[in-house]
Structures are given as structure tokens and as C-alpha cells.
Amino acid sequence: MSTSSSSRVTISNLRRTFGEVVALDSFSLDIKPGELVTLLGPSGCGKTTALRMVAGLDVPDSGIIEINGAAINDLSPSKRNMGMVFQAYSLFPNMTAIENIEFGLRVRGIDKGKRRKRAEEMIELVDLGKQANRFPNQMSGGQQQRVALARALAIEPNVLLLDEPLSALDAKVRTHLRDQIRRVQQEVGITTLFVTHDQEEAMAISDRVGVMNKGNLEQLDKPDVLYSNPTSAFVATFVGAMNRVPGKLLDANSVEVLGKKISVANTGHGLSAGSSVNVMIRPEQFAISSGDSVTITERSFRGPMTRIVVSLTDGTRVDLDIASAETTSMNPGNRTGLTVNASTAIIEAR
């Protein structure tokens, strides 16, 4: 399958305000040809505002958006050649699946034979060939969203824009369609900007993930780097589960937590030696050990892993993720020891 050649998207210093509310502030992003980048963040962080400005559905107060080095700020949405998929499927109810996929090509004046051939290619790409002649009300939500994806790709867009496309679907369908979107994106090789508030979705589908907070891009990295090496307390706590464990800052570069000295990741914290701090440690970065320094308060089986909750002597709750096979004797009320396996961590003032 082919679309137009993969395009590079360069966003430089976008700013967008709504009255006194700053939706985006000095937002910059470079998406390489064929790359899938996800903007991840809570509601109101600016991620959808950024996507809408790339699409031409909103206008920045300042800043530049470029496709392959050419500014597109002054182009209307129809002139930008963007394929868009939103949370709402937005299919025409009086058209079949194949007719919906053809629609953008028909608007562009493509010959009937050529547009039908292209639509048939796209419907096969999303594994809906047998549903080609069904109307939207005869298809499931997941099938309708796949038709919307095929329609967006049929016009051979420069860039594919996906705004929370899976949030209206149930969990099992969402996971399946998420994986299918990634397969199709890689097969076609199209540059893609994906927006979601779902961290698992972002980590599973993306080449890189940008975490947004209050109109700013906090960190942009590969999913594994983002998870393992967050650069701020916000990123550390927003991406994946995270504990805040009491510790003592030894110097600018090291902290003591649960009797272990580990390195500080965010060395620009501005705190002085001896300060009481919270140390960010993930549930899988602990191990149960001999001793009786903590009390097990909860146990929750989660398949291959079990969530064990312990209480420190000061009452701090700490979540641990431990292989289920190792937890048979770990019951609420038992006392045990606790070891930190992390070698570096983000800290914040207590």
C-alpha cells in the first residue's frame, strides 16, 4: 500500500491563548518522516489544541508549522492534505463502508474507477473487506473506527492526525484496534501525530511520546526511556505507577532512602543537603527481604504479577509489584523487610 511520500512536520514555538488561559506556550516538536509521535497528557494540557493547529482547525497566536520545510500556517485545512480520525467516527450513515472511504477521493474529483480501486485497497488494509457494503449502523464501534482510518488514508495524506480515536471503545476492542493502527501506520509508512490521555496506549503505539503539562512539552522520548528515565516529577508520576517514599538528600547528586544511597536524576532540584525529600520509586523497583521493618496491608492478584501494599513505620503506603509465584506467603498483617533496587530516582521537596 502506498500513500504520498512520508513528510516531516516541524512545529516551532507555538503559542495559543484563550483569554487569560494559556493553552500552549512555546510549543515545539519535530516529527520525522514515517514516525508516529504521541502527545500524552491530562485534560486541558494542550495536546488537542496542538493537533488542531496542525490540522488547520485552530490558529496559533504565534509560531510556525511546517511540512517538509514549507510553512502551512496560511493554508486552509483542505489545502494541508491531512488525514484525520477523531473520537467520533463521523461516518455518513446513508453510505456504505466502501462509499465512506471513497468520499474524500470523490470530493477531490478522482475518477470513479480509480477511487473505487483505492477504497478497496484501504478497506483490505484495515481487514474489513467483507463489510464493504455494510452501513455504519450494521457495524460495531471498532469496525466504524477502522472505516474512518481507511477513509483518512485513502486520500494519500501528508500526515495522519489521530485525536483520541480509541476512547469511545471498550477495553478489548481498544487494545486490538490500537495494535492494528500501529500495524497499518508502519505498513503505509505515514508520518503520524496521535493524541491520547491513556498512558498504556501511548507507550504501546509510539516511536516517541511527548508528555504535556499546562501547555508545555515536559519531555519527549522513546517510550522505554520516558518510563525508565523521567526528567521531572510530573512525568515520573504521570507515566506508570509511582511511589513517593521519604528520603534524605545527602548532597546534590545522591539521596538516602530506606537505608540505601542512590543517585538523583533531576540534579537541578535546588534543594540543600539534609533536606527531607520524596523519592520517586516504581512498584517493580522494590523487593521483599528478610526483616520486619514494614507491614503488609494489602494483596491483589493481577495475573503474572501481584500488587503487595506495605506500610512503612511512619505510615507511608508503598505499592510493590512482585511475581505472583513469589507471593504465596505474603499476606496482610505479616511483617517483612523491604529493599530498594533502584539506582537512580527523581526527587521532590517534602
DSSP states of 300-347: EEETTEEEEEEE-TT--EEEEEEEGGG-TT--TT-EEEEEE--SEE-E
Within 10 angstroms of residue 224's Cβ, the number of other Cβ atoms is: 9
pLDDT tens per residue across span 18-36: 999 999 999 999 999 999 9
Band the pLDDT of 5: cuts 50, 70, 90: low
Identify whether 196 is part of a domain: yes
pLDDT on residue 67: 97
Question: Are 49 and 186 part of one and the same domain?
Answer: yes
Of 209, 233, 257, which marks where a domain is finished? Answer: 233
**Is residue 227 over pLDDT 70?**
yes
**Do 155 and 175 belong to one domain?**
yes
Task: Return the pLDDT at 169.
Answer: 87
Is residue 185 located within the same domain as residue 251? no
What is the CATH classification number for the domain harbouring 321?
2.40.50.140
Region of poorest pLDDT, from 111-120, 211-220, 251-260, 262-271? 262-271
Which cell numbers in the block locate residue 307? 500488587
Do 267 and 151 lie in one domain? The reply is no
**Left if phi > 0, otherwise alpha if psi is -120 to 50, otherwise beta: which for 149?**
alpha
Angle in degrees, 0-180, between the axes of helices 112-125 and 141-154, rounded to the nearest 10? 130
Q: Is residue 349 part of a domain?
A: no
Residues 184, 261, single domain; the answer is no
Helix (H) / strand (E) element for 100: namely helix 97-107
Q: What angle do CA 4, 36, 212 make, to 5 degrees?
A: 135
249 and 113 in a single domain? The answer is no
Q: Are residues 287 and 325 in the same domain?
A: yes
pLDDT exceeds cutoff 70 at 162: yes
pLDDT one-digit tens code per residue, 80-122: 999 999 988 889 999 999 999 999 999 999 999 999 999 999 9
CA-to-CA separations, 12 to 54, 56, 99, in angstroms, rounded = 11, 15, 38
- Under 8 Å between Cβ of 126 and 89: no
Residue 243 has pLDDT above 60, yes or no: yes
Per residue in 177-198, pLDDT (tens digit) is: 999 999 999 999 999 999 999 9
Q: Which domain holds residue 196?
A: 9-233
Residue 56 in any domain: the answer is yes
CATH number, domain containing residue 121: 3.40.50.300
Is residue 181 one of the residues assigned to a domain? yes
Is the distance from CB of 288 to CB of 337 less than 8 angstroms? yes
pLDDT (0 to 100) of residue 6: 84
Task: Report in angstroms the alpha-carbon separations of 193 from 42, 48, 213, 269, 298.
Answer: 17, 10, 17, 32, 40
Indicate whether 32 and 123 sit together in one domain. yes
User: Are 226 and 271 in a shared domain?
Assistant: no
Specify the number of domains making up the chain: 2
| Within a domain: 252 | yes
Locate cell 484496534: which residue?
177
Are residues 258 and 203 part of one domain?
Answer: no
> Is 336 within the bounds of a domain?
yes
Q: Do 74 and 217 share a domain, yes or no?
A: yes
- In this prediction, residue 1 carries a pLDDT of 46
Nearest alpha carbon to residue 195 among 14, 68, 43, 61: 43
Judged against a pLDDT cut of 60, whether residue 235 lies above it is answered with yes
What backbone phi and psi angles, to 5 degrees, belong to 71? -65, 140
217 and 259 fall within a common domain: no
The reply to whether 45 falls in a domain is: yes
Q: Is 124 left (phi over 0), alpha (psi -120 to 50) or beta?
A: alpha
State the average pLDDT for the chain.
94
Residue 207 falls inside a structural domain: yes
- Cell readout for 316 is 507511608
Q: Report CA dihedral (224, 226, 231, 232) to the nearest 10 degrees.
A: -130
